[in-house]
Amino acid sequence: MSTPHDFLARHHLPSRWQGKDRFVMLQFDFANGMGFLQAWQAWRQDPQRSQRLYYFAMIKEADLTACPQPELAGLHAELASQWPALKRGFQRIHLENGSLILTLMWGEPLAQLRSLNATLDAADINTDNLSAAHYKALWRLSSANTRIVTHHKSGEAHLKSAGYAMVDFGDYQAGQCSRPPFDKAPQHPRHAMIIGAGLAGTSIAERLAARDWKIDLLEAQDEIASQSSGNHAGLFHPSASRDDNAPARLSRAGCAETRQHLARLQNAGLEVFFGIDGILQVAKDDEQALLMQEIAQDLPVEVLSWVAQDTAMQLLGERPSHGGWWFPQGGWANPTSVCHANLRSEQIQLRCNSRVAQLVQTGEGWQARDALGYLLAAAPVLIVANATEALALLPKLELPLSKTLRSTTLIPASDTPQHSLTGSGYITPAFKGYRCIGAAEVRGNDLTSAEQRNLAELQALLPELAPVQSVGSRVCFRPNSLDRLPLVGALPDPQNIKTAIHQLHQIPRLKGAYALLGLGSRGLSWAMIAAEALACQLNGDPAPLESDLLHAIDPARFLLRKYRQGLNEQQAKIKPQ
């Protein structure tokens, strides 16, 4: 039975989330999880609940060793089973088949507040010692409908200064923002035209369709997944670096999103072929082996661990050339099956044999036309997800994309190695009687030499492996960006730059035009998190990634570097008087 002063009642819940597409809540200290578990239970039991609940919680010293209340035991056990091993940055936990997303925010509170991209419906300040900077950062996340509840009166002056009109209820204060920041986020009709039906295009189609968007998906070929997404099998696993750089963090978030996405597809009864059975990344030489050992010391074994050759041999049933990183949650998937499963929604209209030759911007949005000028589709929102083919459609943007022709080779299924391997080459698990190795660059259109290099790389990874024979190879282009990170988000509009450019937000954007490009060799690792990030941007949902990672994959980042470089060169020419 609720009391006038319990956790949910203070936020006027559950009534405030009822009938909404989403409800977004922030708790400053997760503590023992009681607040979240109460909210989860009430939301689950409410037939009028919001379609999605986003719950952000800052972590100090979370304690899940004991359930805070007996009636929450089932939820507590489910949460504990999914608790992340890595206590760093944003960690997302998908619950209720993806309708409830808990984001645990590890780190210094002010930095985490500044990393968050969301508009809050509720914020629970259950900690003290917050500065004016904390409340200013909180104000940035507020709207006129954001309700703040604070348990400490020490921040009263800061809240008033930040524009919150608070009412004292004795043991807590509550109120709303009387002068919220101006909302600059674009508002779009829920209708998008997506060009390209590989992993990138089908993933963003699935994520938007799940939000009730209407999708027109155009594919130039006579079937989907015709390029790199048509490979027999692919691998996904995190990467790591000494400085925990953007690619490492993005790969961790991406692989976690991929695992949960594949599980959702499977739980929906769809035919998707994948496995989460571990991957060994073999060191290329002794120098890299030493570096990998050093990096592994800073990460929990649930993420990765260093294994020496003898231990690796026990894992694989074959002796690798060196030790390496063992990723226990590394996995594989047949990309084509993922693409087909992504298109299960009736909201998605797929049109194959629809090669777009021209994009036309109109007052209502965008039109896609074929080589003869016939209209293929039109929508308020355009998303280009057709790899380097986007270069010809948007030549004025000078998108920083390149491609290399790569070969993947099939070999007969075998008992060893017992897990997937990566390194200078790779080998996937057996699927439908074959294993896939690759992916050598095809030079001078010499397909035979590329196939032989694939076989040679496998032999280099496993020197004692009995020689294997190819049963066929497949070539396709691998799309890359210049910095090996994807391009995800609103496309820049360089023709309309009229002032000095110093930050990404100053770069004008093409109205209603977005990209999901440049996945490179990490399609399975990055497609799902990239699609989720873009869908959140389009739908006004909280971003799944920290701000600096969103900036790292912003399609306008290269344009910003160009202008910054030009400014620096101009300043260097100015001689002191």
155, 128 Cβ separation under 8 angstroms: yes
Please provide the average confidence, as pLDDT, over all residues in the chain. Answer: 92
Q: What angle do the packed helices 199-209 and 523-539 form, to 10 degrees?
A: 40
Cα atoms found within 13 Å of the Cα of residue 213, Cβ hemisphere only: 28
12, 174 Cβ separation under 8 angstroms: no
Measured from the Cβ of residue 159, the count of other Cβ atoms closer than 10 Å reads 23
Tokens of 15: 């009534």
Closest CA to 341 of 510, 489, 202: 202
Q: What are 406-434's pLDDT values in tens digits?
A: 999 999 999 999 999 999 999 999 999 99
Spatial strand order in the sheet of 366-369: 358-361, 366-369, 375-379
Measured from the Cβ of residue 493, the count of other Cβ atoms closer than 10 Å reads 17
Taking CA 447 as the corner, what is the angle to CA 445 and CA 448, rounded to the nearest 5 degrees?
135
**Cis ω before 492 (30° cut-off from 0):** no
Q: How far apart are CA 566 and CA 497, in angstroms?
A: 14
34, 68 Cβ separation under 8 angstroms: yes
16, 23 Cβ separation under 8 angstroms: yes
Helix (H, G, I), strand (E, B) or coil at 273: coil
**Single-letter code of the amino acid located at 123:** A
Helices (H) and strands (E) in the chain, counts: 16, 28
For residue 196, the model assigns a pLDDT of 98
For residue 66, the model assigns a pLDDT of 84
Sign of CA dihedral 375, 379, 380, 384: negative
Measured from the Cβ of residue 224, the count of other Cβ atoms closer than 10 Å reads 22
Q: How far apart are CA 532 and CA 576, in angstroms?
A: 50
Q: How far apart are CA 7 and CA 1, in angstroms?
A: 12
Sign of CA dihedral 22, 27, 30, 36: negative
313, 452 Cβ separation under 8 angstroms: no
For residue 274, the model assigns a pLDDT of 98
Q: How far apart are CA 242 and CA 436, in angstroms?
A: 30
Q: What are 262-297's pLDDT values in tens digits?
A: 999 999 999 999 999 999 999 999 999 999 999 999
Helix, strand, coil: what percent of the chain each, to 5?
A: 35, 25, 40
For residue 192, the model assigns a pLDDT of 98
Q: What are 349-399's pLDDT values in tens digits?
A: 999 999 999 999 999 999 999 999 999 999 999 999 999 999 999 999 989
For residue 319, the model assigns a pLDDT of 96
The low-confidence residues of the chain, meaning pLDDT below 50, are: 1-5, 571-572, 575-577
C-alpha dist (Å) from residue 347 to 205, 208, 521, 534: 9, 9, 29, 18
- Burial (CB < 10 A; 0-12, 13-18, 19+), residue 571, is exposed
**Cis ω before 530 (30° cut-off from 0):** no
For residue 4, the model assigns a pLDDT of 37
Q: How far apart are CA 234 and CA 184, in angstroms?
A: 39
Tokens of 499: 């002032």
Q: How many residues does the chain have?
A: 577
C-alpha dist (Å) from residue 190 to 108, 155, 187, 540: 37, 40, 9, 11
Tokens of 392: 């010809």
